[in-house]
Structure 1
């Protein structure tokens, strides 16, 4: 039990580390004044989506919560600020009361980017996308809380997306109305892991240090020098997953990949390549389900993968679609998806946190390290 707990904590602490680094990287240089701050306080009301029959008994309450957040307006000190029409970078603390003793409460800390859809002197509409870590007070326990099929660990990853409309009611004050979706999951690090999806309505106030906003520097017109250049990404990853609520051992999952890519625009890179996987949880799964244990199929897998990276300076949002061409033990669908955050520590060295998914169900959280080599 203690070993399993340490594996879960290690993975989630690594996720937090890689999430915080991009936020720190957005600090403007000393030559450019920092962008203005926005401070917000929002109330929130939600309901739980019964996305599978196993969680219907919990999708009966209406969670309510409170959010405190701090946003910094990008100021043009980096070229990508202008490419995305000067988005905001924020950090938020989110509290939920689920009004259900099985779920109890959660506390989350997230970072996010908020992109303007339109912005006028007295009103604006923004789209916000964020991620972070959450702590649940009453997770699944086989003996004391076996009805909690949604959350099986105290620490979970969280993702949020929402639309926010802010209208000025005073010189520096705005009323905010929002509509969004919050998601909590541990990425199959422990099970059961059906996750929780919360459609949410927001109502609150924003304090704007400066409104309307004017960029501190002129918009960059230079194109990145690596547009049209080919490169190779060589990477390896590790992850840990639990096979079932009864088998609480954490099994090692490893992968290696060779991807070729090209930066096709200021915001995008396209990739294609090969990946190999070794999921050790499939070994006992295969033995448990096989009629005979002689000449069992290989649990290793290989695939061809296609990918896209949405670029924000050193940070990028990664989406992959892969198809297995070597898959002797057919434990899952022939394809998989991947969502992740990638950060370049240098021009060659990068790290990433990815979520690998089979047909909407989380398979494993991958901690990745790699090299980028230009042709």
Structure 2
């Protein structure tokens, strides 16, 4: 019993450390300090006049996407406070994305006072992308990812009805369609339709995840009078890792490491190893398109095969999965978001299906080397998260 308790604490500690690392990387990705600098490296006169504070209240419900989650089917309120800044062209990506708003938000909900779920807290950086032209009323799309904390989690003895989440610490993802309207000089009304998601990527099972659609209303206030310079946006110089409009393609190689927990089903944690290669063509300042190849080893597959057959496997080869996919990379300065959708060529255990998806967030240290967080899923159901490094080879073909 003591050894089991010790292992459980070790797994919880590992999951917590990984989630904290993911949050720190996301903060680095979305709140990169170079955004506030001018081309000469000095702080621009605009940066002191574009800070906003915002508060909003929402009303929504938890989607019971599994039969076991019907007991959570209630409506409840949520609240968010944030601090943000209006970009003005301190980096080329700000110009290419129509000068979005970037910020940091804290979110809270009691989840309908459920005795099984407890309260939910989240803190995440976000980017608010303009959709319509700059007017007194404007439409935005906002996306954020960070760290979530749920006060209650699954426990075999004390909280076995919580099949949604197996850990306190989780990834928190937010996406919303937002309307912003100027009320007076520095005061804005905000209204939005949003989806908030909590998941730990199967680092601790069960992990059905929590999905909360909501509607929000709030106000945003600019802390100081608008600087006249902010009305004339900048078009800054290109940086080495940004697209220069010439004909390029990229060959990318990378590897990642992760682990999966199956305590709710079979018990224990298992390592996951992944390698990949992508060939992408730069089709615009923002996008790269191409295809990729994957090789992965999931320790839970070996456990399941050995359990079902009653025999130990002599080789790891039957466990290795290979696959091919279509790839798309969206560039935002040193940050990129990568989506791969494909199918498996080989692998003895594929009960989760022959189709897979990968969603990755990358940070480029320079034009060649990057770090990444990757979520792998099957038919939109999260399977595992890996953390890795990669190399990007830029090739000019004219």
TM-score (norm 2): 0.88
* In 2: Cα distance, 1:211 partner to 1:31 partner: 17
The aligned residue for residue 14 of structure 1 is 21
1:237 to 224, 233, 256: 256
Moved more, 205-214 or 130-139: 205-214
The aligned residue for residue 85 of structure 2 is 72
In structure 2, the CA distance between the partners of 1:251 and 1:372, relative to structure 1 (3 Å rule), is: same
Q: How far apart are residue 293 of structure 1 and its match?
A: 5.5
The aligned residue for residue 277 of structure 1 is 296
Q: Deviations over 1:248-281 (max 9, x none)?
A: 4221100111222221110101232321101111
The aligned residue for residue 100 of structure 1 is 114
Moved more, 215-224 or 43-52: 215-224
The aligned residue for residue 323 of structure 1 is 343
RMSD (Å), alpha carbons: 2.1
Q: Which secondary structure state, in structure 2, belongs to the residue aligned with residue 329 of structure 1?
A: coil
Higher helix share goes to which structure? 2
The aligned residue for residue 190 of structure 1 is 204
User: How do 1:1-375 residues align onto structure 2 when only pairs under 5 Å count?
Assistant: 1-22=8-29, 23-29=31-37, 30-33=42-45, 34=47, 36-59=50-73, 61-98=74-111, 99-208=113-222, 209=224, 214-215=230-231, 217-219=233-235, 224-225=243-244, 227-290=246-309, 298-375=318-395
* In 2: Cα distance, 1:4 partner to 1:13 partner: 14
Moved more, 238-247 or 42-51: 238-247
Check conservation: 2:245, 2:284, Cα contact below 8 A.
no
* In 2: Cα distance, 1:50 partner to 1:71 partner: 33
Number of equivalent positions: 374
Check conservation: 1:76, 1:215, Cα contact below 8 A.
no
In structure 2, the CA distance between the partners of 1:2 and 1:90, relative to structure 1 (3 Å rule), is: same
* In 2: Cα distance, 1:71 partner to 1:207 partner: 10
* In 2: Cα distance, 1:115 partner to 1:91 partner: 15
Check conservation: 2:343, 2:354, Cα contact below 8 A.
yes
* In 2: Cα distance, 1:212 partner to 1:165 partner: 23
In structure 2, the CA distance between the partners of 1:66 and 1:294, relative to structure 1 (3 Å rule), is: closer
TM-score (norm 1): 0.93
Q: How far apart are residue 131 of structure 1 and its match?
A: 0.7
Q: How far apart are residue 329 of structure 1 and its match?
A: 2.3
Flag structure 2 segments of 5+ consecutive residues without an equivalent.
1-7
Q: Which secondary structure state, in structure 1, belongs to the residue aligned with residue 184 of structure 2?
A: coil
Flag structure 1 segments of 5+ consecutive residues without an equivalent.
none
Check conservation: 2:244, 2:285, Cα contact below 8 A.
no
* In 2: Cα distance, 1:259 partner to 1:294 partner: 31
* In 1: Cα distance, 2:76 partner to 2:337 partner: 30
